[in-house]
């Protein structure tokens, strides 16, 4: 990559992302930490990493590049959308931050929040049971995403 007339080494992943995100019809402005932060200067890295929250917060759109799509990508996204719809239908957005922080529900709790938590807990159990029985409601368990060493699903 050429930056300010100087050649700069970038990772294959970043090169693939930049190639995939470019547009012939409009300018695409991208902030990539690997380019925008001097990776060789620990002081600059520390200082800039602390600004990343503000950078992401001010961004009109944030793209997290996980790599090029695979044949399973479409199915993965559809399954995630389906789960998202199920969670919204169950009432996830109606929970307060306190409800989410204190997830445990007493057996005698008849509140709407408790009912929502029970429904969401059942959804989780059903999806995990299907996954354990090789019925894969989440295609990403089989996809490249699920095989990346940093990807972890806790049960």
Asked if residue 89 has pLDDT above 90, the reply is yes
pLDDT, one tens digit per residue, over 34-55 is 888 888 898 988 888 888 878 8
- CA 36, CA 59: separation in Å to the nearest integer? 15
The answer to the question of residue 153 being in a domain is no
Provide the pLDDT for residue 136.
58
Q: Are 6 and 54 found together in one domain?
A: yes
Residue 155 lies in a domain: no
Boundary (domain end) residue, out of 58, 87, 104: 58
* Residue 27, pLDDT score: 87
- Quick one: 44 and 88 in the same domain? no
Q: Is the per-residue pLDDT at 115 higher than 50?
A: yes
Same domain, residue pair 78 and 122: yes
Domain identity same for 22 and 84: no
**What is the spatial distance between Cα 64 and Cα 80, in angstroms, rounded to a whole number?**
16
Least confident of 26-30, 106-110, 145-149: 145-149
**Domain enclosing residue 138, as ranges:** 73-147
Does the pLDDT at position 138 exceed 60? no
Q: Give strand pairing partners of 6.
A: 3
Percent of the chain with pLDDT over 90: 17
User: Are 89 and 136 in a shared domain?
Assistant: yes
Residue 136's region, left for phi above 0, alpha for psi from -120 to 50, else beta, is left
Predicted confidence at residue 142, as pLDDT, reads 52
Structural domains counted in the chain: 2
């Amino acid at each position: 990559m050429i930056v300010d007339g100087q050649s700069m080494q970038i990772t294959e992943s970043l090169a693939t992302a930049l190639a995939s995100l470019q547009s012939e019809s409009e300018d695409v402005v991208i902030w990539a930490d690997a380019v925008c932060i001097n990776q060789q200067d620990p002081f600059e890295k520390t200082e800039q990493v602390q600004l990343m929250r503000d950078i992401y917060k001010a961004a009109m759109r944030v793209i997290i590049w996980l790599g090029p799509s695979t044949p399973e990508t479409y199915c993965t996204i559809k399954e995630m959308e389906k789960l998202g719809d199920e969670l919204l239908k169950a009432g996830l957005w109606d929970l307060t931050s306190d409800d989410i922080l204190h997830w445990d529900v007493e057996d005698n709790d008849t509140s709407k929040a408790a009912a929502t938590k029970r429904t969401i807990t059942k959804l989780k159990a059903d999806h995990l049971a299907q996954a354990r029985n090789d019925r894969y409601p989440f295609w990403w368990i089989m996809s490249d995403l699920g095989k990346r060493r940093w990807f972890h699903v806790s049960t």
